Amino acid sequence: MKQVYLDNASTTPLRPEVITEMTAVLTENFGNPSSSHAFGRNSKNLIELSRKTIAKSLNCNAQEIIFTSCGTEANNFILLSAIRDLKVERIITSKIEHHAVLHTVEVFERQFGVQIDYVNILQDGTVDYNHFADLLSEDKKTLVSLMHVNNEIGTILDLVKVSKLCKDHQAYFHTDTVQSIGKTPIDLTELPIDFLVASAHKFHGPKGIGFAFIRKGIVLQPVLLGGEQEKGLRAGTESVHNIVGMAKALELSMEKHEEEMKEVTDLKEYLVNQLRSTFPEVTFAGNPEQTFYNVTNAILPFDESKISLFLFQLDMNGIAVSRGSACQSGSVKPSHVLEAFLPEDLLKRPNIRISLSHYNTKDDIDYLIEILKKV
């Protein structure tokens, strides 16, 4: 059966060069990086080279990169440490964050009594910067946690504006860049961001590995205890092959960025045009002309009774898309992201998130449209 993968915001296929590099490490470098013999030193060396590669692509210091098992862990680590170690009293975030941030702050609100303020989301799914500036004017020790690119609708946070506002108000700034790292350049020397997080499987690297950037001078304490790895900030034997694979994936993604971004941008334009010409009443969550170049969230002019049926039909025809983030895409309820800003009538209509990569082609989109027409 024909198979078309259009769910790259959930996860991405590995680049062949990444598999080659990881296979070599798995075969030849099994030493524990904490061992002092040559086997261990070789593994340690690979980790430090990978850290440098990652730091170079973000224009930061290698010592500012801490490896974690995934983006979720990195988000949890920063949020918990900000409350516990930096004595943050209030977190400003939004209702459209990934659950790795949203559910975490909800728990910390109950557990530590930290104040959580949610910035308003406008009708196009973007942050209301006026409301944000108002919130910041309250004089409290604050961490701002706002994602760069939204994983369901592709709206983009203005990192320049938000990081400057945070600096002006002496608030710490954490941004979940899981959907943007490897897909757009971020210069940490230019931007006064305090913390960011990434996950390799979103940029054609392996699953089970990510990293946190922690700005030099900010002192956090570990969440995982019991080892001195990662300067004592994250105990546990390092996953050397995954770290090497992540660095290779990021390096390649940034090397090929211009060319691949152009390809994917053209594909998205084609997709949006095809959807509009086939279904004149289609509408979008987030303005597709302004959202990130690989994500489109289309609200289709189908009856609400068709929600589960049409996803099933796409799946039966070998097409992988989702409704929201992977963990909730099987549900017929609208996602928490859409609920945060869409009016009731649009929430009732079926939506799909189509997320592209440079491995997709126009044929994939034609096939999607052909199957959608049969629903």
For the question of residue 60 being annotated catalytic, the response is: no
- Candidates 53, 78, 58; CA nearest to 195 is 78
Q: What is the DSSP code string of 53-86?
A: HHHHHHTS-GGGEEEESSHHHHHHHHHHHHHHTS
Half-sphere exposure of 332 (CA within 13 A, CB side): 10
- 294 belongs to the binding site for ligand PLP (CB under 6 A): no
Amino acid at 133: A
The residue within the footprint of ligand PLP, chosen from 151, 175, 329, 351 (CB under 6 A), is 151
* 163 contacts 193 by C-beta, under 8 angstroms: yes
- 297 belongs to the binding site for ligand PLP (CB under 6 A): no
Minimum Å gap between C-beta 325 and ligand PLP is 5
Nearer to ligand PLP among residue 33 and residue 324 (C-beta): 324
The residue within the footprint of ligand PLP, chosen from 117, 176, 230, 251 (CB under 6 A), is 176
The residue within the footprint of ligand PLP, chosen from 65, 66, 135, 147 (CB under 6 A), is 147
- 72 belongs to the binding site for ligand PLP (CB under 6 A): yes
- Candidates 346, 363, 252, 231; CA nearest to 297 is 346
Minimum Å gap between C-beta 176 and ligand PLP is 5
- 155 belongs to the binding site for ligand PLP (CB under 6 A): no
Q: Report the run of H or E that residue 245 belongs to, with start and end.
A: helix 240-255
The residue within the footprint of ligand PLP, chosen from 15, 98, 323, 336 (CB under 6 A), is 98
* Phi and psi, residue 220, nearest 5°: -110, 165
Residue ranges with strand state E in 104-163? 115-119, 142-145
Residue bearing tokens 């002309």: 289
CA 152-259-157 angle, to 5 degrees, is 35
The residue within the footprint of ligand PLP, chosen from 6, 70, 250, 337 (CB under 6 A), is 70
Q: Of the ranges 105-113, 176-184, 231-239, 257-265, which one interacts with ligand PLP (CB under 6 A)?
A: 176-184
Task: Put the strands of the sheet holding 283-284 in their side by side order.
Answer: 283-284, 295-299, 351-355
The residue within the footprint of ligand PLP, chosen from 31, 33, 71, 350 (CB under 6 A), is 71
Minimum Å gap between C-beta 121 and ligand PLP is 15
- 323 belongs to the binding site for ligand PLP (CB under 6 A): no
Tokens standing for residue 50 = 């990978």
- What length is written for the chain? 375
Cα(201)–Cα(266) distance, integer angstroms: 23
Q: Minimal CB distance to ligand PLP: which residue?
A: 71
* 334 contacts 342 by C-beta, under 8 angstroms: yes
* 264 contacts 357 by C-beta, under 8 angstroms: yes
- 100 belongs to the binding site for ligand PLP (CB under 6 A): yes
Cα(374)–Cα(302) distance, integer angstroms: 12
Minimum Å gap between C-beta 251 and ligand PLP is 19
- 234 belongs to the binding site for ligand PLP (CB under 6 A): no
Minimum Å gap between C-beta 213 and ligand PLP is 14
- 321 belongs to the binding site for ligand PLP (CB under 6 A): no
With contacts defined by CB under 6 A, how many residues of the chain interact with ligand PLP? 13
Contact letters (x/-) for ligand PLP, 193-222, by CB under 6 A? ------x----------x------------
Minimum Å gap between C-beta 94 and ligand PLP is 12
- Helices 240-255 and 16-28: crossing angle, nearest 10°? 150
The residue within the footprint of ligand PLP, chosen from 81, 184, 322, 325 (CB under 6 A), is 325
Name the residues annotated as catalytic: 327
Binding site for ligand PLP (CB under 6 A): 70-72, 98, 100, 147, 151, 176, 178-179, 199, 210, 325
